[in-house]
Structure 1
Amino acid sequence: MNGIELQEVSKTFGAGSKRVTALDGLNLHIRAGELTALLGPNGAGKTTAISLMLGLAAPTRGQVRVLGADPRQDTVRPRIGSMPQESAIPQALTVREAAALFASFYPAPLAVDEVLKLTDLQGAANRRAGALSGGQKRRLAFALAVVGNPEILLIDEPTTGMDAGSRLAFWDAMQVLRASGRTILLTTHYLEEAQRSADRVVVMNAGQVLADGTPEQLRAQVGGARVQFKSDLVLAELQRLPGVEQAEVDAHGRADLRTRTPESLLGELYRRQSPFTELEVSRASLEDAFLTLTS
């Protein structure tokens, strides 16, 4: 079952020579109950797609369905929670007052204290929104997105501005919400977070889907490994090692090699008895896959 469906969706802005195509025949299905990360470079169409899912705009062509209906319908909108990149939070209200105000807009909201605990804001409950730190403001925006007890959560760059502790707390809350059966779609530039936490990753560029699968499936498309070490070998020697597809050496003599056969490469180094230190071997990451797909 799909929580969100975009069928052959196009969205254009402007006219004539100033016409811009943000989405170009986009087909995107978000399965219910999953946490999906929507990735893409700036201008890929991610924010435009989310605005259509929220019912803030209509597609130029194609069909958008959220929970089986047009997201602009009054029966659908209360079932969607949104955390945009920029949130207009009433600065004079305390955290608790803001959460209570937003809760009053929904027919069956979560308890305010429950939401403050989920978003790690209990200690700031009586602080005015205008006095919060940047990370606390993002957590408050998250609280306002979930207080209505939505079935669908659409979150745009959630951890921007958060410190490391806040980011960990946010992802812990994501796992709680996912376990409760909610459908979550988020965009992020922190690809290691998507690799660690998402059930599924969709990569967009130029208004279309480039790749769609689990983080492991996308990493497997790139294949190979990254081998790093310090040695006296110069770049030309490193490039001639078996299986090396890409090689770099920094100013400190640390080699960074990409290969699909790390065993053969390391075997050759041992055979030559070429001394090396600080060896690190890692599989291709989601970031590697993303850069390969969007390059």
Structure 2
Amino acid sequence: MNLIEVRQVCKTVYQGFQKKRVLNKIDFFVEKGEFVVLLGENGAGKTTLLNLILGILQPSEGEVKLMGLSPEESSARTSVGAVLQKTNVPPNLKVKELVQLVCSYYPNSQTVVDILKKVGLEDQSEAWASQLCGGETQRLFFALALVGNPELLILDEPTKHLDAKGDELFWQEIRRYREQGVTILMITHSQSDLKELSQLATRYVTLHKFNEALTEGQLTESESIKSQEDILVKCKNQEKPQKEIVIHPQNVVFIFLQQIWVEIIQLLRTPLFLLGIILFACCITVIPFQGEVAKQALLSFSVLILLTISIERLGKRVSVERAEGWLKLLRVTPLPPIVYIAAKLVTTLLISAITITLIMILGVWRLKIDTDIEQVLLIFFSLVLGVIPFAVFGLALSYLTQPKSYDSIAGLSIPLGLASCGALPLTHPHFLEDVVAFSPFYHYRELTLWAAGLSYDQHLSLHLLWLLWAGGVFGFMAVWAYKRDSVIQ
């Protein structure tokens, strides 16, 4: 039974404006119980092959199966643990918090205490994950690969940067998992690793560069079964009826709650961000209007700050996660994309709700706005719920653009939104006035005018349906872009 199936896979990447073929017609299979070592020169495409197997990359041609499923499905990784290169941990989480979060993604996870003991980090449970030394960080990555009691381990140079203690603990765990029959696929360049692997590996596979491939193809193989006893064991295992791969169901609600909790504590540990939001909200007190004009000004100010939070700030946080490698680490776990996106949205709505509450209190008190509690609640919910499509848009935009350019693009989207919502008068050319009616920003503005009891165009149902439609389209874009993130690839 194959846990990994790669059939006739090709992969072409872009270097500047030129295409480069990295993998060509690759056939690669890993059976249950094997320990396969993947060798090859730097640049041969070993990491690319692992990224294809884990669903981080999509093949240009061919088909990949992981645990019998498409590797893009989060359920395919519920029994898979992986250590990859160029990943990172978030800056505002402690070691035990990070391990606990990743444990929640797996239906059959180990306890935080047990997993930290296995990698020798039990004394660092209260330390900030981002402040561990290089060897300890690599041990933490290995711990995250083990949390789900994996049936398959995929390891890309896992001993790189390990200290002496970490190296000893690593091989101790690998031997233990090998005895349990766990399937392992490992890349290494280390001679000391190869010495250890001589007693563990069942097969060595060498991946050659595309332009240096042999007549038999890019992959060449050699078995490494050292004794007649090993051969007999292998034959007996082949005679046994193969069990089907079991995919354990995930507790999506539990994952969602854990993800929200982590998002909240990370926000609370960035006080400058929260302070900036509060100070910005307090600017409502300097608006030189009162009465109905003040109500209009309060709405415009609220819309501006909510668009800033949902598009500029939310997208910026995601861009940082992409650039620093945290999102790549999440992608090799069974975290469902929709849960990740939903947790980001709920956190943004929570910040928006707190901000609008502060603005409403200060606005009603300072600007002497004549209103009742029912209308205040109506304005509150229309502002907060109406901003959801734009928060989803911010997420989609953050995945579709390069992190370095996100600030500039997001900064332009807000004034363009204000112009397209009709808040700025557009008289020349006249067709722009008709174009405004197709802007989600326009429908958001009309919804808030209705909630405030101000003059609007009397098409409330249309505005609600348009915002729902926009949220659905942006949501589809966000999930699609999350799965095909070019930065983490």
TM over 0.5: yes
Pairs within 5 Å for 1:207-286 = 207=210, 208-214=218-224
Please tell me whether the aligned partners of residues 37 and 194 of structure 1 are also in contact (alpha carbons under 8 angstroms).
no
Query: Which runs of 5 or more structure 1 residues have no equivalent in the other structure?
Result: 218-295
Report Cα offsets for 1:126-151 as digits up to 9, x if no partner: 22112211000000011111112222
Partner of 2:148: 148
Report Cα offsets for 1:201-233 as digits up to 9, x if no partner: 21111152133322869xxxxxxxxxxxxxxxx
Query: Against the structure 1 CA distance between its residues 215 and 201, is the aligned structure 2 distance closer, same or farther, given a 3 Å change threshold?
Result: farther
Partner of 1:232: none
Partner of 1:58: helix, strand, or coil? coil
Partner of 1:292: none
Partner of 2:160: helix, strand, or coil? coil
Instruction: Give how far 1:48 is off.
Output: 0.7
Aligned residues: 217
What TM-score does the superposition give when structure 1 sets the normalisation length? 0.68
In 2, the alpha carbon distance for the partners of 1:179 and 1:125 equals 28
Partner of 1:34: 34
Partner of 2:128: 128
Partner of 2:209: 206
Instruction: Give how far 1:35 is off.
Output: 2.1
Partner of 1:106: 106
In 1, the alpha carbon distance for the partners of 2:191 and 2:206 equals 11
Partner of 1:53: 53
In 1, the alpha carbon distance for the partners of 2:69 and 2:95 equals 33
In 2, the alpha carbon distance for the partners of 1:151 and 1:118 equals 17
Please tell me whether the aligned partners of residues 195 and 215 of structure 1 are also in contact (alpha carbons under 8 angstroms).
no
Please tell me whether the aligned partners of residues 203 and 221 of structure 2 are also in contact (alpha carbons under 8 angstroms).
no
| 2:196 partner letter | R
Query: Against the structure 1 CA distance between its residues 15 and 44, is the aligned structure 2 distance closer, same or farther, given a 3 Å change threshold?
Result: closer
* Structure with max Cα Rg: 2
Query: Against the structure 1 CA distance between its residues 210 and 216, is the aligned structure 2 distance closer, same or farther, given a 3 Å change threshold?
Result: farther
| 1:214 partner letter | S
Instruction: Give how far 1:41 is off.
Output: 0.7
| 1:210 partner letter | T
Report Cα offsets for 1:13-59 as digits up to 9, x if no partner: 13997111111111111121222211111111101110111011221
| 2:123 partner letter | G
| 2:176 partner letter | V
Structure 1 residue ranges, 4+ long, deviating more than 3 angstroms after superposition: none
Query: Against the structure 1 CA distance between its residues 16 and 158, is the aligned structure 2 distance closer, same or farther, given a 3 Å change threshold?
Result: closer
Partner of 2:75: helix, strand, or coil? coil
In 2, the alpha carbon distance for the partners of 1:119 and 1:40 equals 28
Pairs within 5 Å for 1:165-184 = 165-184=165-184
Report Cα offsets for 1:67-99 as digits up to 9, x if no partner: 122111232132222211122212332221111
What TM-score does the superposition give when structure 2 sets the normalisation length? 0.42
Please tell me whether the aligned partners of residues 37 and 201 of structure 1 are also in contact (alpha carbons under 8 angstroms).
yes
Please tell me whether the aligned partners of residues 3 and 68 of structure 1 are also in contact (alpha carbons under 8 angstroms).
yes
Report Cα offsets for 1:88-127 as digits up to 9, x if no partner: 2123322211111111122221111121121121122222
In 1, the alpha carbon distance for the partners of 2:35 and 2:91 equals 31
Please tell me whether the aligned partners of residues 201 and 215 of structure 1 are also in contact (alpha carbons under 8 angstroms).
no
Query: Which runs of 5 or more structure 2 residues have no equivalent in the other structure?
Result: 211-217, 228-489
| 2:80 partner letter | I
Query: Against the structure 1 CA distance between its residues 123 and 16, is the aligned structure 2 distance closer, same or farther, given a 3 Å change threshold?
Result: closer
| 1:174 partner letter | I
In 1, the alpha carbon distance for the partners of 2:33 and 2:95 equals 29
Please tell me whether the aligned partners of residues 24 and 206 of structure 1 are also in contact (alpha carbons under 8 angstroms).
no
Which structure is higher in helix share?
Answer: 2
Please tell me whether the aligned partners of residues 14 and 20 of structure 2 are also in contact (alpha carbons under 8 angstroms).
yes
Please tell me whether the aligned partners of residues 36 and 184 of structure 1 are also in contact (alpha carbons under 8 angstroms).
yes
In 2, the alpha carbon distance for the partners of 1:8 and 1:34 equals 21
Which structure is higher in strand share?
Answer: 1
Partner of 1:63: 63
Query: Against the structure 1 CA distance between its residues 120 and 59, is the aligned structure 2 distance closer, same or farther, given a 3 Å change threshold?
Result: same
In 1, the alpha carbon distance for the partners of 2:165 and 2:75 equals 37
In 2, the alpha carbon distance for the partners of 1:46 and 1:118 equals 28
Partner of 2:93: 93
In 2, the alpha carbon distance for the partners of 1:161 and 1:209 equals 28
Please tell me whether the aligned partners of residues 206 and 219 of structure 2 are also in contact (alpha carbons under 8 angstroms).
yes
Partner of 2:163: 163
